[in-house]
Amino acid sequence: MASSGELRLTDIERALEVCLPGCRWVLGVHRWHIYPPGGGAAFYLPKGGHGAGRRAVVQRGHVRKLARQFDVLACMQAELDAL
Amino acid sequence: MVPRLPLLFSFHQVVVGNGFVAGVRMRGRALLEVERIDGHEEQWITGIAPVGIAGGGSDRSVACTEFRRAWLEVLFDLAATAGSLDEFRELCGPFLSSQQASLTTLWDEAVASIRREHYVDPSLQSADADVEVAYEVVDLSHLDADANEVETGLQIAA
């Protein structure tokens, strides 16, 4: 379970699909490269800890910065109580 | 109190890839912000040029370390997929040159606030906010010690 201040990647992906459908997630050696639909600049999330793949968790601050860059912060906050 | 500090950074890094050794130099922009997380403060640094990276923690030092780590890890990811120095250089372009108008506006507003309030931070040097963002990816395969350079780290853009 994600602790306070952290969010699970599966939850982030689900919320992002609601707020900005069509984002492409590519797993690098160190980071998830998340490309918004339409060709804007990518956001690079840490792979996270406390679990493998999308079960891992990342700090909430990263998700807030991703949401602000993709201009979906209000929607993501509505989808993710912890944000 | 200025809520956001506009920062300039200068990072240099050797990157080893598949059959190449590259040097990446970047003079970029970032934004330092304080966030309240569950009743305690965290400091976060977000990339403005380039965008797409952030680092945070309990204090500014941790945020700085994590921000630089984010920049590095993206470069290492790109190096891992490149088959040559030229390909690495091509992959770096979209990342190192990335900017976004809304984030640039936040940074410009923060610079204006610093100048208006004559804000001085004793733990950071000030530097000219109008300095150009720049980056280069160079071949380090045939360099000598004259190529060594020292980073300037973080400075306030004023």
| Predicted confidence band of residue B116 (pLDDT cuts 50, 70, 90) | very high
CB B103 within 8 A of CB B134: no
Mean local confidence (pLDDT), B5-20: 94
Percent of chain A past pLDDT 90, that is, above it, reads: 76
ipTM of the complex: 0.91
pLDDT of A49 reads: 74
pLDDT of A1 reads: 44
Instruction: Note whether B37 contacts A30, CB cutoff 8 Å.
Output: no
Average of per-residue pLDDT values in chain A: 91
Q: Which residues of A touch chain B, with CB atoms under 8 Å apart? A: 4-5, 28-31, 33, 40-44, 46, 59-62, 64-65, 68-69, 71
Mean local confidence (pLDDT), B106-111: 96
Which residues does residue A6 pair with via DSSP β-bridges, in sequence order?
Answer: A59
pLDDT of A48 reads: 81
User: Model-level pTM?
Assistant: 0.91
What's the residue count for chain B?
Answer: 158
Continuous segment of H or E residues that includes residue B107:
helix B101-117
User: pLDDT tens for residues B57-90?
Assistant: 999 999 999 999 999 999 999 999 999 999 999 9
Which residues of chain B have a CB within 8 Å of the CB of A44? 52-53, 70, 73-74, 77
Q: Which of A33, A62, A71 sits opposite B54 (nearest CB)?
A: A62
Instruction: Note whether A61 contacts B76, CB cutoff 8 Å.
Output: no
Angle between helix B60-81 and helix B85-96 axes, rounded to 10 deg: 140
Hunting for tokens 């970032």 — which residue is that? B30
**Position B37 pLDDT exceeds 90:** no
How far does A21 lie from chain B, in Å, by closest CA?
18
Mean local confidence (pLDDT), B24-52: 93
Mean local confidence (pLDDT), A15-22: 97
Q: Which amino acid is at B101?
A: A
CB A57 within 8 A of CB A49: yes
Q: Which of residues 35-54 of B touch A (CB under 8 A)?
A: 35, 37-38, 42, 44, 46, 50-54
Q: Which of B44, B77, B102 sits opposite A71 (nearest CB)?
A: B102
Q: Which residue in chain A has the smallest CA separation from B98? A: A41
Best mutation target among A3, A4, A27, A30 (most B Cβ atoms within 10 Å) is: A30
